[in-house]
Amino acid sequence: MSGKRHNAHFQHMLVGYDGSPQSEKAVEVAFSLADCIDSTVLIFAVARPPEPATSVELEAVLDDAKEHYQEGFKKILERARAHDLDVKTDMAVGHPGEQIIHRAEADKIDLIIVGRRGRSMISRMMLGSVSERVLRYAHCPVMVVH
């Protein structure tokens, strides 16, 4: 890692991930940037619960999401290790746009990267309305990958 340049502007990045080709492309973009500027990357998936949801339903949605994303996260982390990148994965249950915005603020994220739209069995996360909401309300720059 000593050969990498340090750039404080995008030290902590968050990628909205739902397993779609667009979100996979967002991961690739984040990895390319992280490799150049020595950043940390959080791959963040959001599972959308039924509305209104009981706490039992929320727990079930999170369990399903963990199972659904496990393989994708595993592959991402293997690629990250191969390139000596500092990458973590996590997930939440709720409205994808709101969860991404909230997590970015809580983790003091410097750059959010999302796919323009996407589709997945569980989250339907990167629909146009989600990336638009993130663009509008995020406290930091947002990169939308096509």
CATH code for position 134? 3.40.50.620
- Kindly state the helix (H) or strand (E) to which residue 79 belongs, with its residue range: helix 55-82
In a domain, residue 14? The reply is yes
**Amino acid identity, position 73:** F
**pLDDT for 17:** 94
Helix axes of 128-137 and 96-106: crossing angle, nearest 10 degrees: 30
Beta-bridge mates of residue 86? 40
**pLDDT for 75:** 96
Q: Which of 109, 103, 128 is nearest to 118 (CA)?
A: 128
Q: Do residues 99 and 16 lie in contact, with contact meaning Cβ atoms separated by under 8 Å? A: no
| pTM score of the predicted model | 0.85
| Residue 35 to residue 118: CA distance in whole angstroms | 25
**pLDDT for 101:** 97
Reading the block at residue 144, the tokens are: 């939308």
Q: Do residues 110 and 141 lie in contact, with contact meaning Cβ atoms separated by under 8 Å? A: yes
In a domain, residue 104? The reply is yes
In a domain, residue 128? The reply is yes
**How many domains, in total, are found in the chain?**
1
In a domain, residue 132? The reply is yes
**pLDDT for 49:** 81
Along the chain (146 residues), what's the average pLDDT of each consecutive run of 10 residues?
56 94 94 94 91 81 89 96 96 92 98 77 54 92 92
**pLDDT for 118:** 54
Which DSSP symbol is given to 87?
E
**Host domain of residue 27:** 8-145
